[in-house]
Every structure is written in C-alpha cells, then in structure tokens.
C-alpha cells in the first residue's frame, strides 16, 4: 500500500459540489459522490493498492448521510495517521444565491422536508459549521456560474505543480447589480471615461477594440492600470506567504458592461506575466 491524495469535498447543498466532482473527474481524480464517512478508510485502502492506479481520489461527504456525518473527522484523522495526504474543500454560497438557485431549478433542499428552504439552508449551515472550520480551502460560489466554478477548480487543482499560488480570479461587475459576495479586493473604476454616453459605443462591450481604446487611451486610465498592477504584484507574495490559495479581485463600474470589462481584460494580461493562474469573468456584461 502506498500513500495517496484524498480530497474531501463538502459544503452547502446547492453550492456546486456536483460541478466540483465533475471537474475533479476531468482532472483525473477517482471520484465518488455521497460516500458514507464510515467507508472512507476502507475505500482509501482499496485505492492505495499498488496496482489500482488510483493515486488521487475525491469524495463528496455531506448532510445526505446525516446518521454518519459526525464520523468525518475521526475517519479523516485515520487516513492522515496512515500517511495519506488529506485535504478538505468546503463550498458555500450566500442565502440569497442558494434561494435563487433552488427557485430556478425547483429542486428540493435535503433538509427541507417539513420546513422552508431558507430554514433548511440555515439548519445545514449549523450542521456543517465544524467541517467548515476544519477545511483547508473554502470557496464562496455565490457569484460563480457552474462553468466559472469548473474553470476555477481546474485551474486551481490542475496546476499546483506548474503555477504559483494563489489562483487569482478577476471579476468585472456593475455597482447597480450589487457587489460580488466573494471579493477580497474591490476597485471602483467609475471615474474613467464612460462609453455609455457615446452613442456609437453604448451597445458594445468592454471587450470591443473601440470601447477598449476609448477607456484605456487616456493617461488617467493608463496610470491607474499600472498603479493597480504595481499594488497587486506587491501584495501577491504576501498572500502567498500567508498560504492564501485563491484571491478574488473585483472591478466595478456603473453597469458592468464597459469600463470594468476593459480594465479587467488588461489587468489579466499583466498579471499573467507574473506566473500566477488567473481566471477572468465578466459577471454583468450581458445585463441591461
């Protein structure tokens, strides 16, 4: 038997665990969804056999196994004592985001048998409090689409040996649609020239060359962009030293369609040169 890497995926129902487990399958993990915690040590022993080829496994453990859920920590400890590398990834979302997802999909919350969905979410949050505190990494998926969450996980867990840490997410957004829930650093770019007031540019987005030139050409824009880059490049080694595994930078303009998009595209190009894994998405680019 040889040591293996075990990734325990847990978190709130509706926060993206199904998306996560599919992403880890694409990364070559042997994946099991809803494994009873009591079976974790036995499952790891089977996977650790020299001829299985299952050197990395990912398992989803959550409140669906209510009777066995408290056994998670003792079984994780058993694996660590056996020399296996065990990490816990916890996914969460805001109540607002979870309620919206349940309304859109019309799925039933696993704890909302005789109570409301909101009460089920709050009960589950309490039940998962201990495992959240023990997690090696916590990701708030409130502002991520399934595709964006998949990209984040594949970039983060598929590039550990090739890229620096942390993984950087750059989000453009519109203040009229609210701040991103998971932002670590927020920068307001509403002081830059606004293409919304130029009839020719208004229907375009910040990804269009004409809009990009309009936003970025002024000296004020160039000075801001390079000072922002200098600040972030200065901060990143400190985040890395503290063990931060991902960093979310949010750039906001009024509607999230023009200025924040152009700045986000340019900032990503600059940060890419530093060797960090960088993900960019425009949250509100298609909103009116």
Q: What is the pLDDT of residues 151-168, one digit of tens each?
A: 889 888 885 544 567 889
pLDDT value of position 163: 53
Which of the 8 DSSP states describes residue 196?
A: G
DSSP helix/strand/coil, 279: strand
Provide the pLDDT confidence category of residue 70 given band limits of 50, 70 and 90. Answer: low
Tell me if the pTM is above 0.85. Answer: no
pLDDT value of position 190: 97
Query: Distance (Å, rounded) from C-alpha 30 to C-alpha 141?
Result: 23
pLDDT value of position 81: 86
Q: How many helices (H) and strands (E) does the chain have?
A: 10, 9
Q: 153: which residues sit within 8 A by CB, 6+ positions away?
A: 19, 20, 23, 24, 27
pLDDT value of position 210: 97
Cα 245–Cα 144–Cα 126 angle in degrees, nearest 5 = 75
pLDDT value of position 61: 85
- Token code pair at residue 204: 């375009």
Query: Domains (ranges, CATH) in the chain?
Result: 5-157 (3.40.50.300), 164-282 (no CATH)
**Stretch 190-217: mean pLDDT:** 96
């Amino acid at each position: 038997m040889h040591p293996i890497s075990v990734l325990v995926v847990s978190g709130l129902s509706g926060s993206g665990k199904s998306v996560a487990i599919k992403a880890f399958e694409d990364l070559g993990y042997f994946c099991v969804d809803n494994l009873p915690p009591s079976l974790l040590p036995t499952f790891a022993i089977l996977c650790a056999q020299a001829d299985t080829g299952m050197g990395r496994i990912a398992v989803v453990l959550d409140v669906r196994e209510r009777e066995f859920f408290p056994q998670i920590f003792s079984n994780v400890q058993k694996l660590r004592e056996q020399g296996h590398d065990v990490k816990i990834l916890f996914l969460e979302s805001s109540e607002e985001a979870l309620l919206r997802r349940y309304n859109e999909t019309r799925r039933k919350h696993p704890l909302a048998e005789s109570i409301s969905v909101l009460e089920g979410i709050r009960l589950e949050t309490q039940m998962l409090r201990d495992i959240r505190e023990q997690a090696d990494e916590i990701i708030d998926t409130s502002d991520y689409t399934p595709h964006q969450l998949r990209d984040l996980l594949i970039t983060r867990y598929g590039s550990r040996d090739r890229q620096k840490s942390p993984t950087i997410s750059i989000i453009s957004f519109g203040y009229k649609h609210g701040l991103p829930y998971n932002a670590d650093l927020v920068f307001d770019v509403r002081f830059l020239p606004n293409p919304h007031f130029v009839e020719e540019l208004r229907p375009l987005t910040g990804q269009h060359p004409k809009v990009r030139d309009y936003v970025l050409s002024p000296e004020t824009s160039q000075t801001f962009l390079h000072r922002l880059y200098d600040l972030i490049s200065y901060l990143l080694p400190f985040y890395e030293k503290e063990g931060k595994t991902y960093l979310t930078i949010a750039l906001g303009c009024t509607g999230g369609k023009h200025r924040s998009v152009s700045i986000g595209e340019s900032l990503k190009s600059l940060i890419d040169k530093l060797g960090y894994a960088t993900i960019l998405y425009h949250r509100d680019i298609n909103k009116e």
